[in-house]
Amino acid sequence: MGTPIIPGFHPDPSVCRVGGDYYLVCSSFEYFPGIPVFHSRDLLTWEQIGNALDRPEQLRLAGATSSGGLYAPTLRHHGGKFWLIVTNVSGGGNLLFHAEDPAGPWSDPLPLPGVHGIDPDLAWDEDGNCWCTCAGVSQVRIDTTTGEALGGQTRIWSGSPGAKAPEAPHLHRVGEHWYLLIAEGGTERGHAVSVARGDSVNGPFTPCPDNPVLTHRGTDDPVQNTGHADLVQAVDGTWWLVLLGVRPGGGSPGWHVLGRETFLAPVTWVDGWPVVGEPVTAPPRPAEPVREDFDSPELHPRWISVRERSPERCATTARPGSLTLRAAEGDPEGAFVGRRQQHPSFVARAAVDAGGGEGGLVLRLDERHQYSVELSGGRAVAWAHVGPLRVEVGSAEVGPGEVVLEIEVAETRVITDPRTGPDEVALRVVAAGGARAELAVLDGRYLSTEVAGGFTGRVVGVRATSGQVHVDWFDYEPVDPATA
């Protein structure tokens, strides 16, 4: 069984190698900062070294709905620089960035008004011309210094006959040929990777006779929705594919809750075509808790917020050693800071002082699908927000000052009938002596993509829904359900 090399909500991977170092980026949608950047020396173990778009002038998400924002980046290294191209579907269109160091800082955006379509790719031909290829699949030459399109945008391949949504193109020169990888079939259960090759970066392209070269549609493989792939050659000369996939849980039709995750699969070459093996099993993620004490002026790059993160709404300096969140008038989501859920089972806890405000601990899929336990008026209140319904599902009286709140997610291990959900979510208050008051236990399917729709995964974090809230610490502890 393949396990992700970067688990949790990390879709649409793009990868490049420079010497013995590998760098990878993923989509980030409505979250700020945008485009997480990862580094590896072996393609299996990855460390997040930053976010490419971490300044407001780089990333404008005002008005972006959930599953809006940044789609499908491509990362490349050319001419001594790193290049990043991405689509902001909520404003700005296709944008180009560059950096000397992938950890940042990255440049301000260069708009590409002549590039149309999402999922833009970058490739340089033998003469140094830069070609941008987008979903569709169409291509245009661009000037990377001005953003100007140098000619019209031309369709170069339509994918497999009858397959919907030809997208996520990536062009690579391998030997004598240019290989064009695309995703098709939609990013749901029909997702697939197909490839064509040509003698020129512009084609014409001949489809592989064995397309799709990768798909899990119609199988009982625990990893589904496999697609949106990028190709890289390792230091030892072997070839690999990074791709997205999901791990559905529960009964029928299966619900995936962590979002689309990044997997790795081996590639061999037969008669000039790539043959893709099954996704490899990545090393297990660290089992120890990840504790955040908010002692540094800057948050770790794993922390993300919805649409924006201004110093006025989120700071670690207002009360040293704490995270201070301030809600804004008229924002129903308040001030939110969270991290991606990366394990099927985990416990998150936070020590929260709401003072005269309201807020607490939240498990979020989007603005209409989230569970929370929040402090308000001397009570800890458990909330379930599913579609148009926001319902109080439990409460307990609490004293003034700091209160420890807890969310535990337990993966379903036994399917009792086809309607069994993928996991259960417990909302609790933890007393000073460690005793837990359980306010509610909720079915996790309602915080899944199959219920909510869209392209994102769960994020767990803290928020202020009104006034000001202080968070002294936050921890995230993976749980092995086999030993729980």
0.85 exceeded by pTM: yes
pLDDT in tens, 38-84: 999 999 999 999 999 999 999 999 989 999 999 999 999 999 999 99
Domain 290-478 has CATH 2.60.120.200: yes
pLDDT in the model for residue 316 = 92
pLDDT in the model for residue 431 = 84
pLDDT in the model for residue 484 = 46
Check if 12 is active-site.
yes
Check if 101 is active-site.
no
Q: Which of 12, 119, 261, 358 is catalytic?
A: 12
Question: pLDDT band at 482, cuts 50/70/90?
Answer: low
Domain positions in the chain: 14-276, 290-478
Closest CA to 469 of 334, 349, 367: 334
Architecture of domain 14-276: 5 Propeller (2.115)
Q: Which of 54, 121, 167, 292 is catalytic?
A: 167
pLDDT in tens, 270-287: 999 999 999 998 887 666
